[in-house]
Amino acid sequence: MRKKTMWRLLATLFAITLAASACGGSDSSSDDSTASDAGTAEETEVTLAASGGSLLETIIDRGTLNCGVSGSAVAFSELQADGSMAGFDADYCRVVAAAILGDANKVNFVSLTAAERFTAVQTGDVDLLMRNTTWTQSRDSSVGMDFGPTTYYDGQQLMGRASDGFSGSSQVSDVGGSVICTSAGTTTEKNIADAASEAGVSIELQTFEDFDTVTNNFISGACDIITTDGSGLVGRKAKQQPDGENWVIFPATPISKEPLGPTYGQNDSAFADAVNWAVYATIIADEKGVNSSNVDDMLANGDTETIRLLGGEGELQTEMGLSSDAFYQVIKQVGNYDEIYSRSLNPVGLSREGSANAAWTDGGLVYAPPAR
Amino acid sequence: MPELNPIVVEAGIGETGPPQQGVNLSVRQWLRTNLFSNWFNAILTLLGVFAALLMLRGVLNFTFSENREWDAVRTNLRALMTLSYPESQYVRVWVAVGFVMALAGMSAGIWANWGGVSVKRMSTWLMGSGGLFALCVLLREPSVILDSEGKVLRTVEGSLQRESVWAAMTDRLGWWIAAVVLITLGAAIWAWCSEPDRRNNSVAVTTVVFSGLGLLVLSLWLVPYGHYAFADGTYIAVPGRTVAFSTKMPWTVMWLLLFGLYFVGRSFRDTRWQGIVRGSSNFLWLISPMALFWVVLRDPALDYAHVLSTDLPMGLAFGVLGGVLLWALTRSDLGEAGRLTAVGLLGFAVFNWVAAFFGLYPMLQKARISFLLVALAALLAPNFIGEVAKRRQLILGWLSAMALVHYMATMMNTPSTVDIQSSEFLGGLGLTLFVAVIVVLLSFPLGVLLALGRTSKFPIFRMLSTSYIEIIRGVPLISVLIFFSVMVPLFLPDGMELAELAAVLTGYTLFSAAYLAENVRGGLQSVTKGQYEAADALGLTAAQRTGFIVLPQGLRVSIPQLVGQVISTFKETSLLAIIGLFDFLRVANSVIPAQSEFMGVKREGILLVAMIYFFFNFTISKYSQRLERRVGLGER
């Protein structure tokens, strides 16, 4: 009796095992993530080393671009009240998505802190960074990143009050004895210390957790001067300068160079080309006067380079692994460089005119190689 | 801890409800005995009052200062609540809230005996709030203080230059009227119920709560709070109107659900359905956080071909075959074979998990979980040996557990249709509440098990639990969270991945369980040895002794610490910001100040966040005080 029961039990057990492994064998890789949440369940994690192919194909297969942004950088990538991501960097994520996927909205924005951004690229959590990342020698070499064309030329400057005797033509040598504030743990701290010792003046440097706190201390008078990238200072001045005060930004030539642009993992030419030329396309379009409203017209009646760029003769794009109308979609859906710039940066008081971000024809640095 | 204070305990004996000794004193007597009993006390009282008023004035000046940008908070209210959840599917959020409201109403109806609040007490509340109102109106500085010649003496931060003290006070006429109305109303009610026969009049707590909430909802339709809403993606702000229809309508529905389901619940009370309704509402409370989050809010896009070909057959196979197995295992003539089978199954289940980490034995995660559950059910089976009804209970439990597990696993595994351009589809208060609730729910059973393990007689359980608790408690929460979000994904085998949120939930649950275990252990140790001996003398098994004698008494004693743990879990969710999730505080602290429209505006948002945290935690704390009174804690 007992033996019989035992056998029956074992038979049942065996049957269950069979049933389970039968279901399990077929699609274990695609469905093997019960514990993982929502949006990522489908995502296949691919690192370059593992797949051997280009990220470009992976993104096209996946159908979305994972773009790393800051999420809290005024005018560059800011989360709006309705939860959407807006700003200059966010729009450049859309540019890349429009070029690769044909749809500017196929972007999955991942908000990253400065500390985790490079790890996120290396582990494949994001495909590229549009995150106010300065192009430096060490990042390009030892950190293992590659950098695309600079989309915004920034540089560290200082901001003081006109009532303290500062003006736009002040130099670092004029700030001796001032309390200078900046946010902690960034290179701005080191830059200003170096610049002050070079100029031979002694300053009192104070650091705070974030730049909101720094600005509040400047407003309350605890800091004489604050320093960070010029784009940040202009924005603060435009938005937070109280009535009756005059804040001035100096020196005219920034104390550091901060070229900002797309950043991605190294040694992936196909993906790098796609990103770079998507950015170049916005610059060339600006140069040729092609914008989102007249792009259809220009596709028919523009000059040869314009037509080539917009996909009239599509070989250049298709050879890169993109669809022939890739850059047409970029301009149509997101706009040219000037449109992207004005949309996000003009409202905070940053204008292209006279800055390094003017087109090369206007004396700026924004320049793209020819599309041919 | 009041329950340890002998004086309080003595005072509490023989009394029901709150201590009554203050009631018979007049205001003057009360002041004299409590605040001005000697000169030293008087000085302390005056200093304390002065400091409190000073602080209150600071807060008022800050809040009502003209350069506060409350628009930043108004515009971002939805971002603070759910962050990126898309407008087109927002009805899902309301469905989720509505479900919770309905469940709360139902539970209040079927369970709670809230008792009443005496009318006299309410009149003192009215007078008190009226007084506080008047005090606030009086305290807040006029924007500009002028001397007798009209020269500006001092400006309060960012003000229009128009007010003298007198002008300021007349300016606030509306507030004065409100204060006077409140005080008069309170005094009238006080006078009305001072008559001896009305002294004990009281109103049910539920009436007070529901009508209070009803008044709030009504005010949405009448009071011009300002019309702020998103319509077709653009933001529309019209100050001076009542709130947007898309705000007031859902809240009205929420109130109706709460109120209506309360009566539904009450109508089931003391009927033969009571047991079933109570059981199912408890069950719904348990599963609703996950179901609302993963099913309602995520709206999984089911691939029916896959469901029919894989998910459904697999669930059925586990349900049916597992049921047959359990039926066999509960036969009374089985003997040791049952235990052997169960242990064998457990070994197999554990092997599956270990194998998964070496990528040896590919199998659906669901199957691994199911095998583990089969093994656990098989271990439990001997408790159900006996008559058919008992065995049927086990089988039904098994079938429903399988249905639930497979349903949830399928839903979680299916991609979401909620169209969102962000890595997490929910943020803000929604995320904070979700994480807090899930962590509390999951860490509770784990914590109790750990506490039992640590007080166990078996050295192996004791050592494992102790080392687990001590290791986890020796590490700060922030490093546990970082470990789970950064390190653990690296240890996982190829093809298995853990989303940020899942990683955080796991880490936080494990962390919280260790602390909870120590709180529970404190309670367990307060159960006297006599109770254990009595249980043994009655011939109870170890499981029965723990379940029926030790745990109920131990948990009752640990209520205050457990509630403290819940509150701190809720508050510490703000650490999620550090590993990149957008919790409630982070939205106020770094998302709003980064919007070019509201650059640098963060203090307003943080004040609101603090108030909402306080509301939730104060409610939890108040509820736990009720609970303590109900189970008679501190009165023994």
Q: List pLDDT tens digits, range B190-231.
A: 888 877 777 778 888 888 889 999 999 999 999 888 888 877
Write out pLDDT tens, residues A271-304.
999 999 999 999 999 999 999 999 999 998 888 8
Helices (H) and strands (E) in chain B, counts: 28, 6
Same domain, B211 and B256: yes
In a domain, residue B18? The reply is no
| Buried b / exposed e along B82-110 (16+ C-beta atoms within 10 A) | bbbbbbeeeebbbebbbbbbbbbbbbbbb
Q: Is the pLDDT of residue A15 over 90?
A: no
The answer to whether B321 and A16 are in contact (CB under 8 A) is yes
Calculate the average pLDDT of chain B.
84
In a domain, residue B27? The reply is no
User: A72 to chain B: nearest residue by CA?
Assistant: B594
| pLDDT confidence bin for A90, thresholds 50/70/90 | very high
**A256: nearest Cα among A237, A279, A236, A231:** A231
Same domain, A168 and A289: no
Identify the H or E element spanning B600: none
What pLDDT is attached to residue B3? Answer: 40
Q: Measured between alpha carbons, how far is B572 from B558 in angstroms, rounded to an integer?
A: 21
In a domain, residue B449? The reply is yes
Same domain, B276 and B333: no
Write out pLDDT tens, residues A120-161.
888 888 999 998 888 989 899 988 899 999 999 999 999 999
Q: Is the pLDDT of residue B617 over 60?
A: yes
Burial (Cβ within 10 Å: 0-12, 13-18, ≥19) of residue B309: middle
Same domain, B285 and B336: no
What pLDDT is attached to residue A47? Answer: 39
B86: contact with A, CB 8 A cutoff: yes
Q: Where a domain ends, among B252, B277, B301?
A: B301
The answer to whether B177 and B185 are in contact (CB under 8 A) is no
Report the DSSP pairing between strands A85-86 and A145-147: unpaired
Least confident range of A51-60, B162-171, B239-248: B162-171
A16: contact with B, CB 8 A cutoff: yes
As a whole-number percent, the residues of chain A with pLDDT over 70 amount to 86
In a domain, residue B400? The reply is yes
Write out pLDDT tens, residues B248-283.
999 999 999 999 999 999 899 888 888 889 999 999
A121: contact with B, CB 8 A cutoff: no
Q: Is the pLDDT of residue A21 over 60?
A: no
Answer whether A78 sits within 8 Å of B595, measured CB to CB. Answer: yes
Q: Where a domain ends, among A228, A256, A284?
A: A256
Q: Residue B362: which CATH number?
A: 1.10.3720.10
Please count the CA atoms within 13 angstroms of the CA of A349 that sit on its side-chain side.
17
In a domain, residue B39? The reply is no
Calculate the average pLDDT of chain A.
84
The answer to whether B575 and B581 are in contact (CB under 8 A) is no
Q: What DSSP string describes B531-566?
A: HHHHHHHTT--HHHIIIIIIHHHHHHHTHHHHHHHH
Same domain, B393 and B285: no
Backbone angles phi and psi of B486, in degrees to 5: -105, -45
Same domain, B575 and B437: yes
What pLDDT is attached to residue A34? Answer: 34
Same domain, B399 and B436: yes
Closest partner residue to A38 (CB to CB) among B75, B369, B425 is B425
Number of domains in chain B: 2
**Mean pLDDT along residues B491-495:** 69
**Mean pLDDT along residues B494-515:** 85
What pLDDT is attached to residue B635? Answer: 59
Same domain, B532 and B559: yes
Same domain, A268 and A216: no
B201: contact with A, CB 8 A cutoff: no
Q: Measured between alpha carbons, how far is A318 from A327 in angstroms, rounded to an integer?
A: 11
The answer to whether A128 and A151 are in contact (CB under 8 A) is no
Chain B (390-449) residues lying within 8 Å, Cβ to Cβ, of chain A: 409, 412-416, 420-425, 427
| pLDDT confidence bin for A227, thresholds 50/70/90 | very high
| pLDDT confidence bin for A211, thresholds 50/70/90 | confident
Task: Pick the residue of B157, B348, B492, B596 with the most A CBs within 10 A to test the interface with A by mutation.
Answer: B596
Q: Domain span at residue A62?
A: 51-152+259-356
Write out pLDDT tens, residues B56-81.
988 888 887 766 788 888 888 888 99
In a domain, residue A325? The reply is yes
3-class DSSP assignment, residue A151: coil
Tokens of B200: 């004990």
What pLDDT is attached to residue B13? Answer: 39
B487: contact with A, CB 8 A cutoff: no
| pLDDT confidence bin for A9, thresholds 50/70/90 | low
Higher per-residue confidence, B117 vs A148: A148
The answer to whether A219 and A208 are in contact (CB under 8 A) is no
Q: Where a domain ends, among B269, B301, B333?
A: B301
Write out pLDDT tens, residues A306-365.
998 898 887 888 889 999 999 999 999 999 999 999 999 998 888 898 889 999 999 999
Same domain, B440 and B550: yes
Cα B495 to chain centroid distance, Å, stands at 35
For B449, other C-beta atoms within 10 Å of its C-beta total 15
B75: contact with A, CB 8 A cutoff: yes
Report the DSSP pairing between strands A258-260 and A179-183: unpaired
Q: Is the pLDDT of residue A66 over 50?
A: yes
Higher per-residue confidence, A185 vs A369: A369
Answer whether B413 sits within 8 Å of A107, measured CB to CB. Answer: no
Same domain, A269 and A252: no
Q: What angle do CA A132, A137, A138 make, to 5 degrees?
A: 90
Same domain, A263 and A252: no
Q: Domain span at residue B327?
A: 303-603
**A76: nearest Cα among A86, A87, A67:** A87
Identify the H or E element spanning A252: none
In a domain, residue B420? The reply is yes
Identify the H or E element spanning A77: strand A77-79
Please count the CA atoms within 13 angstroms of the CA of B480 that sit on its side-chain side.
21
Q: Is the pLDDT of residue A41 over 60?
A: no
Answer whether A38 sits within 8 Å of B298, measured CB to CB. Answer: yes
Identify the H or E element spanning B452: helix B428-454
What pLDDT is attached to residue B563? Answer: 92
Q: How far is CA B576 from CA A83, A306, B353, B488, in A?
A: 18, 48, 28, 16
The answer to whether A236 and B600 are in contact (CB under 8 A) is yes
Taking only Cα atoms into account, the Rg of chain B, rounded to an integer number of angstroms, comes to: 29
Same domain, B287 and B334: no
Write out pLDDT tens, residues B541-597.
888 888 899 999 999 889 889 999 999 999 999 998 888 888 999 999 988 988 888
Same domain, B418 and B552: yes
3-class DSSP assignment, residue A69: strand
In a domain, residue A207? The reply is yes
Answer whether B499 sits within 8 Å of A123, measured CB to CB. Answer: no
**Mean pLDDT along residues A234-258:** 88
Q: How close, in Å, is residue A207 to chain B by CA atoms?
A: 17
**A101: nearest Cα among A67, A65, A130, A128:** A65
Closest partner residue to A83 (CB to CB) among B83, B374, B495 is B83
Number of domains in chain A: 2
What pLDDT is attached to residue B496? Answer: 66
Q: How close, in Å, is residue B117 to chain A by CA atoms?
A: 42
What pLDDT is attached to residue A38? Answer: 34
Same domain, A166 and A245: yes
Same domain, A274 and A239: no
Same domain, A204 and A133: no
As a whole-number percent, the residues of chain B with pLDDT over 90 amount to 37
Answer whether A108 sits within 8 Å of B422, measured CB to CB. Answer: yes
Close Cβ partners of B154 (under 8 Å, ≥ 6 residues apart): B144, B145
Write out pLDDT tens, residues B33-60.
888 888 898 999 999 999 999 999 888 8
Least confident range of B117-126, B138-147, B466-475: B138-147
Closest partner residue to B321 (CB to CB) among A8, A16, A85 is A16
Closest partner residue to B310 (CB to CB) among A23, A81, A212 is A23
In a domain, residue B115? The reply is yes
Write out pLDDT tens, residues A190-206.
899 999 999 999 999 99
Task: Pick the residue of A32, A46, A69 with the most B CBs within 10 A to test the interface with B by mutation.
Answer: A32
Q: Residue A248: which CATH number?
A: 3.40.190.10
| pLDDT confidence bin for B630, thresholds 50/70/90 | confident
Least confident range of A37-51, A234-248, B174-188, B294-308: A37-51
Q: What DSSP string describes B401-450?
A: HHHHHHHHHHHHHSPB----SBSSS--HHHHHHHHHHHHHHHHHHHHHHH
Close Cβ partners of B263 (under 8 Å, ≥ 6 residues apart): B109
The DSSP symbol for A73 reads: E
Same domain, A125 and A265: yes
3-class DSSP assignment, residue A207: strand
Chain B (293-332) residues lying within 8 Å, Cβ to Cβ, of chain A: 294, 298, 310, 313-314, 317-318, 321-322, 324-325, 328-329, 331
Same domain, A139 and A71: yes
Q: What is the ipTM of this complex?
A: 0.78
Q: How close, in Å, is residue A183 to chain B by CA atoms?
A: 14
In a domain, residue B523? The reply is yes
A65 has which bridge partners? A107
B202 has which bridge partners? B118
3-class DSSP assignment, residue B63: helix
Same domain, B224 and B268: yes
Q: Measured between alpha carbons, how far is B424 from B408 in angstroms, rounded to an integer?
A: 19
Same domain, A198 and A222: yes
Least confident range of A170-174, B250-254, B416-420, B439-443: B416-420
In a domain, residue A40? The reply is no
Q: Show residues of chain B in contact with A21, CB under 8 Å.
A: 363, 367
Same domain, A290 and A145: yes
What pLDDT is attached to residue A288? Answer: 92
**Mean pLDDT along residues A10-25:** 51
Q: Where a domain ends, among B248, B280, B301?
A: B301
Answer whether B235 sits within 8 Å of A82, measured CB to CB. Answer: yes
Same domain, B397 and B464: yes
Write out pLDDT tens, residues B287-344.
898 899 888 988 888 888 888 888 899 999 999 999 999 988 888 887 788 888 888 9
Packing angle, helices B245-268 and B91-110, rounded to 10 = 30
For B56, other C-beta atoms within 10 Å of its C-beta total 15
**Mean pLDDT along residues B394-400:** 91
Same domain, A104 and A121: yes
